[in-house]
Amino acid sequence: MPSFRKNEINAHAVESMDAKALQALLREDFEWPGGMLDSELRALAVQTLCRREKEGGAVYPDAEASLKNFRQRYGQLFDTGDSVVPMPSGAQGRKRSGPMRVHNVLVRSAAAIVAVVMLLSMSALAGRQDAGDRGARWTDGEFWFDWTAMDIEPMEQGSGQVQPQLEKLRELLTGYVAQPEDLLPSYLPEGFAAYETKITDDTELFAQGMCWLSDGESGRYMTVGCKIVYDKTMKFGIPKNSGAPEEYVRNGITHYIMPNASYYEAVWVNGDVQCSIGGQVSHDEMIKIIDSIYGGVK
- The identity of residue 254, as a single letter, is T
β-bridge mates for residue 207, sequence order:
228
**142-145 sheet: strands from edge to edge:** 128-129, 136-138, 142-145, 238-239
60-69, 88-97, 168-177: which has the minimum mean pLDDT? 88-97
Comparing 78-87, 109-118, 287-296, the range with the smallest average pLDDT is 78-87
Asked if residue 23 has pLDDT above 90, the reply is no
Q: What is the pLDDT of residues 143-187, one digit of tens each?
A: 999 998 888 888 888 888 899 999 999 999 998 998 999 999 999
The confidence band for 77, taking pLDDT boundaries of 50, 70 and 90, is very low
Q: CA-CA distance, 242 to 54, in Å (whole number)? A: 37
Q: Say how far apart CA 91 and CA 10 lie, in whole Å.
A: 9
Average pLDDT for the chain: 74
Q: What is the mean pLDDT of residues 66-74?
A: 50
For the whole model, what pTM was predicted?
Answer: 0.57
Q: Sort strands 136-138 and 128-129 into parallel, antiparallel or unpaired.
A: antiparallel
Rounded Cα distance, 199 and 227, in Å: 10
Residue 101's H or E segment, with its range, is strand 99-101
Residue 267 pLDDT more than 60? yes
Shortest CA distance to 113 belongs to which of 50, 205, 68, 23?
A: 50
Which among 287, 298, 296, 275 is positioned nearest to 166, based on CA atoms?
275
E strands present in 15-125:
84-86, 99-101
Which of 95, 266, 69 lies closest to 184 in space, CA to CA?
266
Which is higher by pLDDT, 298 or 4? 4
Q: Which residue has the higher pLDDT, 200 or 51?
A: 200
CA angle 12, 13, 17 (to 5 degrees): 115
- Per the model's pLDDT, the better-predicted residue between 150 and 117 turns out to be 150
pLDDT at residue 265, rounded to an integer: 92
Give the single-character DSSP code of 145: E
Burial-class residue 207 by CB neighbours within 10 Å (0-12, 13-18, 19+).
buried
Q: Which residue has the higher pLDDT, 38 or 134?
A: 38
Q: What is the mean pLDDT of residues 105-127?
A: 43
Say if residue 131's pLDDT is above 80: no
Task: Look at residue 84 in the predicted model and tell me its pLDDT.
Answer: 36
Tell whether the model's pLDDT for residue 205 goes beyond 50: yes
Q: Span 9-38, mean pLDDT?
A: 76
Q: What pLDDT, on the 0 to 100 scale, is given for residue 241?
A: 82
The better pLDDT of the pair 259, 132 is held by: 259
Cβ proximity of 243 and 282 under 8 Å: no
Helices 63-74 and 110-120 cross at an angle (nearest 10°) of 40
48-57, 147-156, 210-219, range with the lowest pLDDT: 48-57
| Order of strands, sheet of 206-215, starting from the edge strand that comes earlier in the sequence | 192-200, 206-215, 221-229, 273-279, 263-270, 253-260, 246-250
Q: Is the pLDDT of residue 227 over 90?
A: yes
Report residue 123: phi and psi, to 5°: -110, -20
Q: Is the pLDDT of residue 290 over 90?
A: yes
What confidence score (pLDDT) does residue 43 get?
79
- Spatial separation of the C-alpha atoms in residues 279 and 265, rounded to whole Å: 7
Q: What is the pLDDT of residue 86?
A: 37
Residue 203, pLDDT > 70, answer yes
- At residue 180, the pLDDT reads 93
